[in-house]
Amino acid sequence: MNTDRIIIVGGGSAGWMTAATLIKAYPNKDITLIESPNVPTVGVGESTVGGIKNWTTFLGIDDKEFMAATDGSYKLSIKFTDFYKKGEAFHYPFGDVHTDHPNDWWFKKIARPNTPYSDYSDCMYPQMALVNQNKLGYNEQDEIPFSFKKDTAYHFDATKFGLWLKDNYCVPRGVKHLLENVDTIEQGAEGVQSLNGKHTADLFIDCTGFAAILMGKTLKEPFEDSSDMLPNDSAWATRMPYLDKDKELVAYTNCTAIDNGWVWNIPLWSRIGTGYVYSSKFVSDEEALEEFKAHLGSRSEGLEFKNIKMRQGIHSRLWVKNVCTIGLSAGFIEPLESNGLWTTHEFLMKLVHTLRKGTVSQWDRDNYTFACRRVFRNFLEFVELHYALSAREDTPYWKNNSNKEWCPSLLSFEQENVNGLKNYADSISEYVNNIRGGSHCIGAGMHSSTATLHSLMYHQHKSKKEVLKECEEVVDKLDSRKNEWAENVKHYESLYRFLKRNIYKDA
């Protein structure tokens, strides 16, 4: 199968991210994007995670080129409030941990049992000094071991981001743009033969969101539902103005667990995006809206609320005949951890790799499906971990979650982390590579210890007194380093001032 002529069906962030990626990687291909003038995008994917910087760097676009046009801000972390139990919160920062020994923080926890679990990220990630003081800087003097280029992500308006890509990246580089409803889809032996009886291509890419009009409705590819692994299937979303912008504009997404799900809070430059992700098995849409309004308090007055029904899961195959799928049409995990945009650019890089030869065989199709489904499954289990480790039982929703049976691969999480710490104890570089994902942060924040007093006594053949003496030795070192990071960024600007000076000079 040749791939010289490509038609992308559907716009939005997924469609235009696909067009941008392909025109960058293969500027000589004939690429057309067809989108309906009458179908709105979901438009609430406003938060990203660390990997987005890999993708923008691949495209060769600078932050200052698009952030002002997309209402953008910077993101250093994700905060989880009341997920483990009410009254506790912790952060999952981006980037690599900084440690001298894999068990350092757990040694501190053993020596000082009253240390809050939230202290883990403060000791392991230097950028938490910025988060805790709500400041930001380029770190040009290396005042903390933090890379602005690699360890940041974005908050932005996803709809505006798609439009920016269209007008400033894709169309200027030769992507053809057609505003047209797809009324008919003609099929042939190779899959889709044409659209509306006239638009033909070698490869069609489905970016039509939950509708999945090519992969689902036309080719009838089975969809594997994941609702048995994750509890939520619906969301209410809205936008609200700032009350105190300098204070409320923070460099993290806040996720707060409430009675039947959780609420996101995403601060953009001019407003805050917020929404309630919940389970219709435990609360009706109307009841959920009232819960959400109660959470927002008086700030809910006068706001417009949008209800979203989510399809959780993934198609059995992601490339069937001459149709490939990207974005929500491929699969979706609930919004926790901002997986929608992340899986989009990760799937796209798999697609770029698959198209490198110019022709595609069945092996290539199957390999694309395998690679993307593995990425999807790993992320699905990562999101599931946020619920599996929760100790909440205060509502039927959380009690049901507490009594749920979990899959074997998820159950091995804590033991693998313990083994990983033990096996990599003599090699920090290998240890850091082993925990680049965020599961160790979620585990620490939710009291899932990778080293305990009893395990160290057992594995090291030492008495309690000997273990505690060794653990005590790391406390001052960790606290001293944490305090040094905090001191070194005190002169940094607030996030608001930083954005005002570097991105929104004329705003």
Partners of 2 in the beta sheet?
Answer: 359
Closest CA to 97 of 465, 483, 435: 435
Per-residue tokens: 29 = 């291909």
The pairing of strands 5-9 and 30-35 is: parallel
The vertex-278 CA angle with 53 and 254, nearest 5°, equals: 40
Burial class (CB in 10 A: 0-12, 13-18, 19+), 147: middle
Cβ neighbour number for residue 366 with a 10 Å cutoff: 13
Known active-site residue 24: no
The vertex-170 CA angle with 164 and 174, nearest 5°, equals: 150
Per-residue tokens: 485 = 């990071």
- CA quadruple 422, 424, 426, 430: dihedral, nearest 10: -170
**Distance separating the N- and C-terminal Cα atoms of the chain:** 50
Question: What 3-state DSSP class applies to 501?
Answer: helix
Q: Is the distance from CB of 146 to CB of 126 less than 8 angstroms? A: yes
**What is d(CA 440, CA 456) in angstroms, rounded to the nearest whole number?**
19
**What is d(CA 335, CA 231) in angstroms, rounded to the nearest whole number?**
12
For the chain, give the longest Cα–Cα distance. Answer: 80
- Return all residues near 319 (Cβ < 8 A) that are at least 6 apart: 325, 354, 364, 365, 366, 368, 369
**What is d(CA 228, CA 231) in angstroms, rounded to the nearest whole number?**
7
Residue indicated by tokens 């039947």: 260
Of these residues, 29, 75, 160, 321, which one is catalytic? 75
Per-residue tokens: 406 = 């979990």
Closest CA to 377 of 333, 338, 420, 336: 333
**What is d(CA 323, CA 381) in angstroms, rounded to the nearest whole number?**
27
The vertex-405 CA angle with 456 and 311, nearest 5°, equals: 120
Cβ neighbour number for residue 404 with a 10 Å cutoff: 13
Question: What 3-state DSSP class applies to 376?
Answer: helix
Q: What is the DSSP letter of 17?
A: H
**Buried/exposed code over 410-435 (b: 16+ C-beta within 10 A; e: otherwise):** beebbeebbebbeebeeeeeebeebb
Helices (H), 240-284: 245-248
**What is d(CA 86, CA 101) in angstroms, rounded to the nearest whole number?**
32
Active site residue ranges: 75
